Chains A and B, each alone.
Chain A
Amino acid sequence: MTLTKRIIACLDVNAGRVVKGVQFVDIVDAGDPAELARRHAEAGTDEIVLLDITATHEKRRTLIDTVVRTAKQLFIPFTVGGGIRTIDDAAAIFDAGADKVSINSAAIARPELIGEIGSRYGAQAAIVAIDARRGKSNSDPIANAEVFVNGGRKPTGRKVLDWAKEAESRGAGEILLTSMDADGTRGGFDCKLTALVSEAVNIPVIASGGAGTADHFADVLLEGKADAALAASIFHFGIANVRELKEEIAKRGVPVRLPC
C-alpha cells in the first residue's frame, strides 16, 4: 500500500471549448470539455484540471455551465482554475461541481483568499498555482526563479520559493507549479525547480510544463520529487493512452494507479 503519483490531464478551455490537446482519435467532438474529461477518466487519468483561459468577465457564465456539464459525469477529482478572484467566484465554481479550485494571480494580489477558501471548503480544496520563470542572473537561476502572474505576462518580483512557502503557511492544500521556461517545449519538466519547491514545502506539488515523453513524467516524479504531473496533451507522446504512459513510468519505479 503506497500513495501513488498522480497523472493529471489539463483541459485548457476558451469560451466553453477545449483549445489545445486534441486527444482521442475517435471522439465525436474533440472540443467539448465534458466529453474529453469523461474519456480521460475512463482511460485511467487520475485527476482532471479545467483551466479557463478566457477568464473575461462576460464569459464567466459560460464557464459555470461548462463546469456543471463536465462535473456531471465525472467521478474522479476535478479542479477548476482561471479567473477566480473572490470567495464568491470560488463558491460558484464549487456549487457547479468542482472539488478544488486553483488560484494564481488573485492569490498574489490578495493572499488572504487562500485561507478564505480553505476555511470554507477545507484546505484540500485550495490549490495555489505558481507560474515560474528561472532567474536571469547566472549565480543561481533556480533559487532565484520568479513568480509571474496574468497568464505569465507580468513579473511580480517575488521568488518562487518564498511564495510557495507563504502559500503553504496560508493554508494551500497543494501547489501547482508551472515552469514557463519548459512549458510548450516538450523537452521535459523543470526537475530541478520542482525538486527545490517540493523539498521546501510539506504539501503536495504538482509539476506542469514541458511534458514530451513518458520518461519526462518519470523524471519529474522521481528526481523532481513531484507528487503529481500535469500535462495538457498527454497522449501526444508516441503512446496510445494514459495506461501505457503509466506502465512506462511504473517500469522506472514510480508507484502509479494500475490497473486504473
Chain B
Amino acid sequence: MIAVIDYKAGNLTSVMKAMHAVGADAVVTFDPDVVMYADKLVLPGVGHFSATAFLQEHGLRQAIEERVDTGTPFLGICVGLQWLFAGSTEAPDTAGFNVFPGHCERFSEGIKVPHVGWNSIQVSESRLLQGISNGVFVYFTHSYRAPIVHGTVAVTEYDSPFTAAVERDNIMGVQFHPEKSGAIGLQILENFVRLT
C-alpha cells in the first residue's frame, strides 16, 4: 500500500487518479500510523512551503524519517521535492527534511512567475527515471526552484538551470507534476510504484 500524505496543501485528486491509473494501491492519509506501515510514501503538494510545517506538527516528519531510514521508497512532488532540501526562502522559518543541501529560491525578477507549462528535462542515471529519454517534456507549475546538487538526476532551465528531479537511494523527488505530464508522467509514477 502506498501512503499519499495529505498535509492540507492543495488538491490530491489528480495524484490519486494517476496512482490508480498505474495500478497502485494508494490511500490518502495524514495519520503517522498509516505512514508507519505503508510500503511506499508519496508527498505531493502545491502551494506554499510553510504548509510543510503540518508534517512536523502532526508527527508525520518523524514517521517519514523512520521509514526512509529503513529503505522505504519516498517520492516528493513539487513542494514535496522542495521539502527534501534544507528549506526555502518562501518560508525561512520552516525547516525542510534536509536530505539535500541548500535552499529553494524564487525565480529571479524579469521573468514570468510562476514557471507554468511544459518544459524539457535532461536526465541522468536514475531508478525513478528509468526508460525516460533526454529531452522529454513534462508539466511544471511553481514559483520557487531547487538548486542543482549531488543527487540531481534531471535538470531543466527557466532563466537558469535548476533541479527537476533528485534521487538518493530510496529518496526521490520531482519538481514537475508527473500526474499532469501525460504518458511520460505516468511512466515515471509506474517506475516508482514498481520499485522493489
Main secondary structure of the interface of A (DSSP, over half): loop
A174 within 8 A of B: yes
| B5-29 residues at the A interface, CB under 8 angstroms | 9-11, 13-14, 17-18, 21
**Nearest CB in chain B: distance from A4 CB, A:** 5
B156 within 8 A of A: yes
Total A residues in contact with B, Cβ cutoff 8 Å: 33
Main secondary structure of the interface of B (DSSP, over half): mixed
**Nearest CB in chain A: distance from B44 CB, A:** 11
Contacts of B179 in A (CB 8 A): 75
Name which residue of chain B comes closest to A203, CB basis. Answer: B112
**Nearest CB in chain A: distance from B176 CB, A:** 12
Contacting B21 at CB < 8 Å: which of A2, A46, A75, A94? Answer: A75
Binds A, one of B52-60, B61-69, B139-147: B139-147
B11 touches A124 (CB 8 A): no
- Inter-chain residue pair count (beta carbon < 8 A): 101
B186 within 8 A of A: yes
A77 within 8 A of B: yes
Name which residue of chain B comes closest to A96, CB basis. Answer: B13
Chain B residues proximal to chain A, CB less than 8 Å: 9-11, 13-14, 17-18, 21, 46-48, 112-122, 137, 139-143, 155-158, 161, 179-183, 185-186
Q: A97-B14, A121-B47, A125-B10 given. 11 additional CB < 8 A pairs?
A: A1-B161, A4-B117, A6-B117, A75-B183, A75-B185, A95-B13, A97-B13, A97-B17, A99-B14, A122-B48, A203-B113
Chain A residues proximal to chain B, CB less than 8 Å: 1-6, 41, 46, 71-72, 75-77, 94-97, 99, 119, 121-125, 173-174, 202-204, 227-228, 257, 260
